[in-house]
Amino acid sequence: MDILEAFPVLKRATLLKKDVKRIYIGAYGFEQRSLGWCRSQKSMLSPLSKAILFQYVHPKGKNMVEPLRRNLRALGAKNLSEIQFDYDAPHMIESRLEKAFLKLSAEEIILDTSAMAKVLILAALCKLKHFKGTLRIVYSEALDYCPNRKQYETLKGKLAATARFPSRGCDDIVRLRCLSSIRMQGQPLSLVAFTSFNEKLVSHMLGHMSPHRLLLINGRPPRRDYKWRELATQDIHRKYWLEYANDNPLDGFGRLTRSTSTLDYRETVAAIEKIYKDHGLLERIVCAATGSKMQTVALYFSKVLHPDMQIEYPTPDSYFVKGMSTGVRMVHELVIPNYSQFLNGLQNAADDSSLQTKKPV
């Protein structure tokens, strides 16, 4: 069986009832979509029993704390607890999550990634690995994203003007124990990174390591009106795919052949599987979490499939909060019954695949 067949399809989020004990895990955010899932549910059905919220010690914008609390309480979550996350001490999040998740009593967990930093998505997915209930990974897609095409064309190539892009610069690189690997130390290093509107994230990664190769995964928005963004993010990273041209081929239309949907996470899993098959046997692979939220979810599942891969998170220096995104177009969910069993199945499938690969001819 193709290992990708094990991954469920991302679908429109469903309306939930208070038929099971359900916990919400999310974060305070400054975008309207941070309230997307809560507002998509009907308070009369009271689908929640408890909520755990990430609170940023140094928020990048004015987070909608009270609106989220009100919405969660209206959905039945009278018990609200908070976990602080500090970018200046990111390593503390692992022990805090382990303590908070140690005695989770629920049949279902809603993991709302919409306002969560990518490193929190990765850490939460990892620390929930023993959860035997159903995990619903929720993502609220915005109606409009910054920059729009006119803004991009106007600011294109102007370094100072890129302050209007979603994020700029790079503050630091976050490395967590649960995302690291000590395997294949000393081997040639391959860096996998996703394109975005902030090329400094890739630049910072390259400045902290000397990779044997750089493998870029370009983001492909599923919406027709955002097709231009695929070429835009590719162009922003032009100097990198030119420098590492052998590992970043173009198709007949001048587009990077290695591109995946920013929404359908399974495409990203497939792309990383191909990279690992081509280079993972003899090279150490480090992945930079610089893509979309759902590409980040895929990154964690790829880590489960290949524990010898390492994931690192270069944090943006700042965000252009005013125009980050507006509205909510659709709320998506990825439903995984018996999450721990699902992860064990991935590991077993990966072990079987590895044995077949190494079997002598």
Per-residue model confidence as pLDDT tens digits over 25-68: 999 999 999 999 999 999 999 999 999 999 999 887 789 999 99
Mean pLDDT of 202-225: 94
The parent domain of residue 83 ranges over 3-143+327-351
Mean pLDDT of 100-128: 96
Q: Are residues 134 and 157 located together in one domain of the fold? A: no
CATH number for the domain including 246? 3.40.50.620
Q: Are residues 200 and 274 located together in one domain of the fold? A: yes
The pLDDT score that the predictor gives to residue 165 is 44
C-alpha dist (Å) from residue 45 to 33, 77, 125, 272: 21, 12, 27, 40
Q: Are residues 99 and 198 located together in one domain of the fold? A: no
The pLDDT score that the predictor gives to residue 243 is 96
Total domains in the chain come to 2
Closest CA to 199 of 170, 224, 158, 219: 170
pLDDT score of 151 more than 90: no
Pairing status of strand 79-85 against strand 50-56: parallel
Mean pLDDT of 13-24: 95
Q: Are residues 182 and 313 located together in one domain of the fold? A: yes
Tell whether 361 is covered by a domain. Answer: no
Q: Are residues 219 and 271 located together in one domain of the fold? A: yes
Q: Are residues 165 and 97 located together in one domain of the fold? A: no
The pLDDT score that the predictor gives to residue 290 is 96
The pLDDT score that the predictor gives to residue 5 is 85
pLDDT score of 215 more than 70: yes
The pLDDT score that the predictor gives to residue 331 is 98
Mean pLDDT of 206-222: 94
Pick 86 or 317 by higher pLDDT: 86
Mean pLDDT of the residues in the chain? 89
The pLDDT score that the predictor gives to residue 306 is 95
Contact 42, 14 (CB under 8 A): no
Tell whether 359 is covered by a domain. Answer: no
Tell whether 358 is covered by a domain. Answer: no
Q: Which two tokens stand for residue 251?
A: 């198709």
C-alpha dist (Å) from residue 49 to 60, 319, 351: 29, 33, 38
Q: Are residues 332 and 317 located together in one domain of the fold? A: no
Q: Are residues 13 and 109 located together in one domain of the fold? A: yes
Degrees to nearest 5, angle at CA 37 with 35 and 43: 95
pLDDT score of 129 more than 60: yes
The pLDDT score that the predictor gives to residue 321 is 37
Q: Are residues 137 and 261 located together in one domain of the fold? A: no
Alpha helices in 244-322 (DSSP H): 265-279, 293-305
